[in-house]
Structure 1
Amino acid sequence: MFKELHPNIKARIAISFLSKLASSMIFPFMAIYFSKEINVGIAGILLMLNIVVQFVASIYGGHLADHIGRRKLMVWGEWMKVVGFAVMLLVNSPLFASPWITFLALLLIAVSQGMAVPASDAMLIDVSTREVRAFMYSINYWANNLSVTIGVVIGGWLFQSYLFEMLIALLVLSLITTWLTIALISETLDFSTIQATDTIGLKSLLRSYRKIMYDFRFLLFTLGGIAVLSIEFQRNNFISVRLADVFPPGLYSLFGFSDIFFDGIKLLSVLTLVNTLMIVLFTAPFAKWIRHRELQKWMYVGFGLFAIGFAICAVTDSIWVLFGATVVLSVGELLYVPTRQTILADIVDERMRGTYMAFNGFVFQIGKLIGAGSLIFAPYIGKYGMGVFILLCGAVGIMLTSIALKPKTVSVKQEL
């Protein structure tokens, strides 16, 4: 099946693997870096600003991808990343160190990702058919999870003591991904679909996103995705805080062994590892199994299992039940991620794929906000209230998505 994929897809999966491997070796630990070099409060502000810059860049990057081409933006993004890593290397060398210039380099890398990711996502849709998309997204998801796992493990061991050497490796990896992008990726945008009145200016940008705001079907689908993704971000917010309280540092019995020293945070990391290993090990068989089945039905099953698994994690104090719930939510994730991505590719306007995929970024950003915001009201509703909240998010995700995909919800009201 993999051999049947378009060369661009194979190249993009390989490039994405190397790129995420590089980024996950360093980006998860930048909060530690800035807290140490400046202070905790400033570190939080800088990292939030970095997220905002990447999001704004993606809004414009999606628009550009529909007008100047996918490949050009992907190449630009890779070169900007090379420059960003080169600057980080220079200002974190044994001779000179500057956290502020490091932050500016991070902003450049954020812009590069904002520009390249929507173009890359649109390119995948351009060169794939509906029959292979579920498999394509499954393999891409598998590769991303594997690369992030490897990168975080390497970064966790080496970041504190070998930052300079790591940055050398990241620069080399970035040069490799740039070369692969130039050598292997071909342009997929059909320039004949671009109207003579279309430009890359602000007015054209606003016109494009105005069209999306009138696409009722896509907006409902996006809101459904936000509801489901807000569940996932409970892991590093409410669930992590609760497990830290329930399991203070001490000796516990685990897997038949007694007197094992761990705490809630370590337990959460093990649960996350189980989730990641299931994604890595079972993506391929699930992708083959889903391929010839009704995608919508199994997407809804995935939503439900995902919500149930996380709801159980939010309320149980049993280690065994936590591991069982992690298996359940992992199965849900294996079912819903490729099916939702495949259906998303079907409902976007083929003339504005870059813009639509950039707008789809709202799913992750708003999901993160809801996940973080849950910490505000969680003390008032307790763990059982949070369990119900998570189940409601899953139900809302299913309801909004099903409404969006009803045959009657197909009309797109054009701009006034």
Structure 2
Amino acid sequence: MQIRLWNNNLKVRLIGEALFNMLFWMYFPFITVYFGGALGNHIAGILMTVPPIFSIIGSLIGGAWADRLGRRPVMLLGALLQTVMFALFAVSPSHWIDYIAFIGIGLGAAIYRPASSAMVADLVPAQNLRQIFATFMTANNIGAVLGPALGAIFFFRYRQELLWTCALVLLLYFIAIYIMVHETLPHSAKSREGSTSITHVLKEQWKGYGIIFRDKVFLVYILAGIFALVPIMQLDLYLAVYVINNVPAQALFTWNGDSLMLSSTEIFGWVLGLNGLLFVLFILPVTKWFRNWKERNVFILSSLLSGLGTFSLGLNNNIWFLFFVTIIFTFGEIVRSPVTQSFISRYAPEHARGQYMGADSLQSTIGKCLAPMTVFLSSWMPPMGIFSIILVFAFISIVLYIQLFRIYVEQPEAAD
């Protein structure tokens, strides 16, 4: 499905989110360092555990509102809240106000995200969902590759200018949504509208999420996703600890008697760069290659590649071997990413699509809480012990995905 043939809503979102995502990656990787330098690493570590809680709340609220008020108003609210918080961050005279603004930015993004994903599901035929989501991920990951390199310069030297630029881009995106994006809330959701009192709305939200969390298929899907994400998330967690502490400095290549030597930290940087580059270059082709695969098989392949790839890191310290297994576990992440969003888009009932999208974010949030345990356990266990635990998580996710598709019969996409 070529971009020029896309609905206007999708084009506006692709451009706006790609621009903002690049700016996001220019400040986000350095936030912990920033607060650590200002408030101390111990306090910063504690403070960084709070934003995910607000992300959960924002996602659940945003998802419920998206089904009740519409996709467009919730997206406008999320974009406006982020704009205001970036401006507050830019003019803040206190590190604590900086922290409040940072939480507000995350809350705005969490409110925005379920409505945005639900709008894609409203507009795109089921057979094209994987390709559309893969295109959005490609745009976002270009920012994730370029952003940190630029942010290392701009965040510390020109922080206020960077924050004002973020605020301006989001303000322009807010205006673009207001002028160019139309509402896509399905009629089945509109027909459910009732009292608009705050008490009634809260009761309806609680009732709606109660129904979702009693959905056995959805619960198994969430649980399988949590176990699957633990190996994938190790790139920024135990993998950094392992490479820096256990992989010796070595030559990348030798030429005419000279060699390019890389330290352990530099080797980790190359692994990160390779991961990001592979994601940008291959997510669209890989999504196309696997478009006829059943979702069950894609999920199982993803868990197998990410689990075995991460486990294999502990087998050899040679730099080229590390690059090879990086390719394996990165492809595990690549094949999974578009399918997770297409699965929930197709599975969620039309009238509750936003709520399902909001609840789906629990996979990532709970995964982020569990994944750091590998770093904690590394003080008592050898590397192969940690890599074995990671592999067990991957195999548990495979078992859960097999169980999921025993109780949920996958429908052919083209028939939807």
Provide TM-score, normalisation by structure 1: 0.90
> Which residue identity is paired with 1:223?
L
What's the counterpart of residue 148 of structure 1? 144
Aligned length: 403
What's the counterpart of residue 98 of structure 1? 94
Deviations along 1:241-297, one digit per CA (max 9) or x if unpaired, are 11111136xx52112366545433322221111011111112222232222343432
> Which residue identity is paired with 2:252?
L
Question: How far is 1:380 from its partner?
Answer: 4.0
What's the counterpart of residue 414 of structure 2? none
User: Quick check: 2:344–2:357 contact (8 Å CA) kept in 1?
Assistant: no
Deviations along 1:22-75, one digit per CA (max 9) or x if unpaired, are 211112211122222222222223222222222212221111111001100101
What's the counterpart of residue 126 of structure 2? 130
Match of 1:195 among 189, 192, 210: 192
Cα distance in 1, alignment partners of residues 140 and 314 from structure 2: 26
Cα distance in 1, alignment partners of residues 279 and 126 from structure 2: 22
Do residues 84 (structure 1) and 85 (structure 2) align? yes
SS of equivalent residue, structure 1 residue 101: helix
> Which residue identity is paired with 2:25?
S
SS of equivalent residue, structure 2 residue 250: strand
Matching of residues 209-358 of structure 1 within 5 Å? 209-247=209-247, 252-256=250-254, 260-358=260-358
Cα distance in 2, alignment partners of residues 22 and 43 from structure 1: 22
Question: How far is 1:132 from its partner?
Answer: 0.3
Cα distance in 2, alignment partners of residues 408 and 20 from structure 1: 35
Question: How far is 1:221 from its partner?
Answer: 0.8
Q: What is the aligned-residue RMSD (CA, Å)?
A: 2.1
Cα distance in 1, alignment partners of residues 347 and 381 from structure 2: 38
User: Quick check: 2:231–2:310 contact (8 Å CA) kept in 1?
Assistant: yes
SS of equivalent residue, structure 1 residue 256: strand
User: Quick check: 1:59–1:358 contact (8 Å CA) kept in 2?
Assistant: yes
What's the counterpart of residue 23 of structure 2? 22
> Which residue identity is paired with 2:165?
A
Do residues 51 (structure 1) and 52 (structure 2) align? yes
> Which residue identity is paired with 1:183?
I
Query: Higher mean Cα deviation, 199-208 or 213-222?
Result: 199-208
Query: Higher mean Cα deviation, 198-207 or 262-271?
Result: 198-207
User: Quick check: 1:125–1:345 contact (8 Å CA) kept in 2?
Assistant: yes
User: Quick check: 1:296–1:339 contact (8 Å CA) kept in 2?
Assistant: no
Cα distance in 1, alignment partners of residues 66 and 296 from structure 2: 29
Cα distance in 1, alignment partners of residues 297 and 409 from structure 2: 18
Cα distance in 2, alignment partners of residues 124 and 332 from structure 1: 24
Cα distance in 2, alignment partners of residues 370 and 158 from structure 1: 32
User: Quick check: 1:231–1:393 contact (8 Å CA) kept in 2?
Assistant: yes
Cα distance in 2, alignment partners of residues 364 and 20 from structure 1: 18
Query: Higher mean Cα deviation, 225-234 or 283-292?
Result: 283-292
What's the counterpart of residue 413 of structure 2? none
What's the counterpart of residue 60 of structure 1? 61
Query: Higher mean Cα deviation, 113-122 or 333-342?
Result: 333-342
The structure-2 alpha-carbon separation of the partners of 1:387 and 1:41, relative to structure 1 and needing over 3 Å to count, comes to closer
Structure 1 residues not aligned, in runs of 5+: 92-96, 411-416
Q: Percent identity among equivalent residues?
A: 26
Question: How far is 1:222 from its partner?
Answer: 1.0
Question: How far is 1:207 from its partner?
Answer: 0.8
Question: How far is 1:191 from its partner?
Answer: 4.6
Do residues 41 (structure 1) and 39 (structure 2) align? no
User: Quick check: 1:223–1:363 contact (8 Å CA) kept in 2?
Assistant: yes
What's the counterpart of residue 404 of structure 1? 404
Question: How far is 1:153 from its partner?
Answer: 1.4
Cα distance in 1, alignment partners of residues 153 and 146 from structure 2: 11
SS of equivalent residue, structure 1 residue 255: strand
SS of equivalent residue, structure 1 residue 104: helix
Structure 2 residues not aligned, in runs of 5+: 411-416
> Which residue identity is paired with 2:119?
M
SS of equivalent residue, structure 2 residue 157: coil
> Which residue identity is paired with 2:324?
G
SS of equivalent residue, structure 1 residue 287: helix
The structure-2 alpha-carbon separation of the partners of 1:190 and 1:312, relative to structure 1 and needing over 3 Å to count, comes to same
SS of equivalent residue, structure 1 residue 48: coil
Provide TM-score, normalisation by structure 2: 0.90
